[in-house]
Amino acid sequence: MPDYNKKLDDEFKTILIDAIQRNDIDAFREEFLEVHPYDQARFYVSQEQDVRQQISSYLSPSEMAELFHNLDSEDQESTLEEMEPAYVADMLAQMYADDAVDVLNELEKDQVVSYLTIMDDEAAQEIKDLLHYEEKTAGSIMTTEFVAILANHTIKNAMKILKSEAPDAETIYYIYVVDDEERLVGVISLRDLIIADDDKLISEVMNDRVVSVSVSEDQEHVARMMKDYDFLAVPVLDFQRHLLGIITVDDILDVMEEEASEDYSKLAGVPNFESQDHSAFSAARKRLPWLIILLFLGMFTASLIGRFEEILSQVSILAVFIPLIAGMAGNTGTQALAVAVRGIAIGDGDRKSKMQMLRKEIGTGLIIGFVCGILVMIVVDLWKHNIVLGMLVGVAIFTTLTISTMSGALIPLLMHKLKIDPAVASGPFITTLNDIISVLIYFGLATLLMNYLV
C-alpha cells in the first residue's frame, strides 16, 4: 500500500519524465504509484498527448481509475478521447459506480451505450441501475458499494463480513443493518462495532433511529442535511424503506461546489460557469438570451424617461441625478438579493426565518436610505444652492433605496415559495427592475414639485 508521502516536486517530475523517455515501465511505476492520485493527475494533465497515452499504457485500468477520478471534467473528456474504448470500459468498471455514472452523464448516449456494451456485465448492470435516476437527486449521486448486515448477526460474524466486503466498499465508517427483505432497520458505527463484545447481537448495539433520505430527494437538500448532522454518509431508501445505496461526504462536497457555482452563475446572469467554453461564439450564444431580455427592459426604462421629456426640458439639471439614483437602487437591491439567496441556500427557509430576514432587510433599507438621502440632500443644496432640488433627490434616494432593498429580498423569497430557483432572480435582473422603479419614483416626485423647481 503506497504511503503517499512523496510530493510531486521538480526533481521527482524529472525522474518520472526520464523513466518515460527510457520507456522503463518498472521504474516509472515504482515512483509514480508512490504519490497521491491527485498529484498523479496533475502530472498526467501537464504532459503532451503522446506522453499521456504512454502513461496510461503503463497503468492498469484500476490504477488509471484512481488517477482519472482526480481529473477535472474537461480533462476527463479529453482523456477518454485518447484511450481505446475497451480500456475505458475496464477503467469505468473499476471506479465506484456513482463516480462512473458522473462521468457517463457527461457523454453522448451512443458513447454510454458503447462503453456499457463492452463492460463487464455485473459492473454494467450496477451502473445502469444508477443511470435511470433523475439528475440532481439522491439516487443520481448515491453509491451502491456499502456494507450491510442482518440484525440477528453477532458482532463476531459482522466483523467477518466487514473484513470481506470492506475492500469494495466506498466507506466503512457506518455499517447499515437490514432485515431479511433488505429494509433498513438500524445503523452501527465502526467504533461501536469494534468495542462491542463478540457474542452480542447487532440488534443489541445498533441505533434504530436512522436519519435517511428518499431516493428522489433533491441533492441540495441532502447536502444541507449532511452538513447539519455532520454525517460522513447517509443511507438512501425507496418508499418501502429498502436500502438502495449511500451518499458519502466526498460526493456531497462535489454537490456543494456544483450548487454554489450554479447559483453564482445565475446571480451573474450567466448560464453555467462550470462549462468552460472553448470559443467566444459559444460563450456569447449562452449569455445572449439573458442580455437580450435585459436589453428590452432597459429600452422600457429609456421609454419611461422619454415620457418625462417635457420636465427634463424645463429642468435639465434633473438628468444629472438619474445615474446616481438608478445606480444606488441597483446596488442595494443586489446586496439584498445576495443575502436572501444565501439564507435560502444554507437552509434558513422556515417561515419565521424568512420573516425575520425580510424585516431586517427592510430595516436596513430604511437606515441606508435615510442616511444616503440626508447626505445627498446636503451635497446638492451646497452644490446647486437649491434646497428644493436637494430635497427632491434626497427623498427619491430614500424611497428608492428602501423599496429596492425590499424587492431584492422579497423577490427570491417569492420565487422559493413558488418552487423556482431563487438564484434566477439574478443581479442584472434586479438591477434593471430597480432602474424602472427608481425612474418612476424620481420623476413622479419631480412632477409633484415642478412648480418649485422651475
Same domain as 114, residue 31: yes
* Co-location of 125 and 210 in the same domain: no
- In 3D space, the residue among 414, 403, 413, 411 whose CA is nearest the CA of residue 439 turns out to be 403
Distance CA 274, CA 424 (A): 16
Identify whether 275 is part of a domain.
no
Backbone angles phi, psi at 5, to 5 degrees: -80, -25
Q: Does 266 map to a domain?
A: no
- For residue 71, pLDDT over 60 is answered with yes
Q: What distances in angstroms separate CA 48 from CA 35, 53, 71, 278, 355, one per listed residue?
A: 20, 9, 15, 19, 56
Q: What angle do CA 355, 358, 362 make, to 5 degrees?
A: 140
Per the domain annotation, does 271 fall within a domain? no
Per-residue confidence (pLDDT) for residue 450, from 0 to 100: 82
What pLDDT shows up at residue 199? 92
- How large a percentage of the chain has pLDDT more than 90? 40
274 lies in some domain: no
Same domain, 321 and 229: no
- Do 55 and 126 have their domain in common? yes
Residue 187, strand partner residues: 176, 207
Evaluate whether 416 touches 425 at the Cβ level (below 8 Å).
Answer: no
Does residue 143 sit within a domain?
no
pLDDT given at position 274: 46
| Angle at alpha carbon of residue 430, lines to 429 and 436, rounded to 5° | 95
Q: Is the pLDDT of residue 43 over 70?
A: yes
Q: What is residue 244's predicted lDDT score, i.e. its pLDDT?
A: 94
Residues 211 and 320 in one domain: no
420 vs 209: which has the higher pLDDT: 209
Co-location of 162 and 108 in the same domain:
no
Distance CA 450, CA 443 (A): 10
In a domain, 445, yes or no: yes
Domain region containing 51: 10-132
Average pLDDT over the chain reads 85
**Mean pLDDT, to the nearest integer, of 292-317?**
81
Regarding whether 154 and 128 lie in a shared domain, the answer is no
> pLDDT band at residue 354, thresholds of 50, 70 and 90?
confident
Total tally of structural domains belonging to the chain: 3
Question: What is the share, in percent, of the chain residues with pLDDT greater than 70?
Answer: 89
What does the pLDDT read at residue 160?
93
Is the pLDDT higher at 390 or at 255?
Answer: 390
Query: Nearest-CA neighbor of 267 among 432, 436, 428, 433?
Result: 428
pLDDT in tens, 6-16: 556 778 888 89
Q: Is there a domain that residue 156 lies in?
A: yes
pLDDT band at 315 (very low <50, low <70, confident <90, very high): confident
398 and 445 housed in the same domain: yes
In-domain check, residue 116: yes
pLDDT at 276 exceeding the cut of 60? no
